[in-house]
Amino acid sequence: MSVVRALLSGRAATEGTRWRSQFGFVGFASRQDIPIDLAALSRGMIRLAAEVADGIVLWDCPSSYIRDVVVPEIAAVRWATGGDMTGFDVDAALAAAATDDVPAAVSGIREELHRYFGPHF
């Protein structure tokens, strides 16, 4: 995360906590205020996002999981590190389809969701 933050703000980012980079933008106007969201589903990744990111992107989570797991985990980490939920975005992406073939859409979405519901929820 430190490498990405450095790159977006115009600082050299050759050494991160874990990764090295020689990357640089050409023609990019650096900004300190670009939010960085982290994709997460598991409790460990949710806690990491709460600690180092400006928001979290979820994929196909039931609202009960967001209410009972995601938000409490984020709030606990943010509180423990001296912060709160202010300015921390929780974005929930969902599978959707625009079609006249409803059975095919339901089948495709069901197949996609099957991979997520078992291990996490």
Write the pLDDT tens digit of every residue in 63-94: 999 999 999 999 999 999 998 899 999 999 98
Give tens-digit pLDDT for 31-64.
Answer: 878 899 999 989 999 999 999 999 999 988 889 9
* Amino acid identity for residue 10 in this structure: G
pTM score, whole prediction: 0.73
Separation of alpha carbons 15 and 32, rounded Å: 19
3-state helix, strand, coil in the chain (%, to 5): 45, 10, 40
- Ramachandran quadrant class, 73 (left: phi over 0; alpha: psi -120 to 50; beta: rest): alpha
